[in-house]
């Protein structure tokens, strides 16, 4: 069944809305204009959530995601936010709350990759990667936690490279994404008494613009996978939706890896 069929008036009359996990919830997905972020935003909307999504430069792609969600009967808000700016992540949270009146789910997905020979990495690359991949996650989580009620969810999108680095040139990215594990564990302790969960989804080889399944490097990656194929953004979106829903209420302070057996 397609999402359009799922949102039809007949389905609503038959109680379809009661089967949707996130009806009445509000989610913010950073970096939701493409790839994994777009798939997450669309899946949360299919589960009934109102979804705000941010983008840094791909305005057309962000609007395309929003139009698809709205065509399927969902509610969206598109926010321009470059997480290199320390105020952007906080502003996105506040805009979401102003528009929808609350925030229940924060998915910290926005990130960048900086790699290359160790001797060639610059201080500018270090500062920018840390700002976007770590600092913005902390600031967005801090801001969202001020508004979240019991049952809130903070879900950070990391990488399976934090557990296994298969080659050279990945030091900076692996370091920054590894910081999300410590951040998640600390936040889980801080927010657990309020009934708010915090997790990391560690994505492996997922077919996106950043890591396409038809790249020259992809054949090498496939030799390291137990399942021999790249995953999809929809695969990650399904896991995030699970964590955001009722069945994810007792999972916190931990990492969940979705990598086709890359780290097996």
CA distance 40 to 183: 21
Cross-sheet strand order for the sheet of 50-55: 76-80, 50-55, 26-29, 105-108, 153-159, 197-203, 254-258
Query: Which helix H or strand E contains 249, and what residues bound it?
Result: none
Nearest residue to 148 via CA among 178, 180, 190: 190
Query: Known catalytic residues?
Result: 173
* Alpha carbon distances (Å) from 216 to 211, 221, 258, 262: 10, 10, 22, 18
Nearest to 107 by CA among 228, 240, 17, 205: 240
Give the separation between CA 82 and CA 157, rounded to whole angstroms.
Answer: 17
């Amino acid at each position: 069944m397609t999402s359009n069929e799922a949102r039809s008036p007949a389905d609503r009359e038959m109680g379809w809305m009661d089967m949707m996990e996130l009806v009445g919830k509000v989610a913010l997905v950073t970096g939701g204009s493409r790839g994994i972020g777009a798939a997450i935003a669309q899946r949360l909307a299919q589960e009934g959530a109102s979804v705000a999504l941010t983008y840094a430069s791909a305005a057309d792609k962000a609007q395309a995601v929003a139009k698809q969600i709205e065509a399927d009967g969902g509610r969206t808000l598109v926010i321009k936010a470059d997480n290199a700016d320390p105020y952007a992540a906080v502003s996105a949270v506040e805009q979401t709350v102003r528009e929808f009146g609350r925030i229940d789910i924060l998915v910290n997905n926005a990130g960048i990759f900086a790699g290359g020979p160790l001797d060639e990495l610059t201080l500018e690359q270090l500062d920018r990667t840390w700002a976007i991949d770590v600092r913005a996650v902390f600031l967005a989580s801090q801001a969202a936690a001020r508004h979240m009620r019991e049952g809130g969810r903070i879900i950070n999108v990391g990488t399976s490279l934090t557990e296994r680095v298969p080659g050279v040139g990945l030091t900076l990215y692996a370091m920054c994404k590894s910081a999300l594990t410590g951040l998640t564990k600390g936040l889980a302790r801080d927010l657990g008494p309020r009934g708010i969960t915090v997790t990391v989804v560690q994505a492996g080889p997922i077919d996106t613009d950043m890591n396409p399944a038809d790249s020259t490097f992809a054949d090498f990656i496939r030799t390291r996978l137990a399942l021999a194929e790249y995953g999809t953004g929809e695969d990650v979106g399904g896991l995030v939706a699970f964590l955001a829903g009722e069945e994810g209420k007792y999972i916190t302070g931990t990492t969940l890896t979705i990598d086709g057996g890359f780290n097996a």
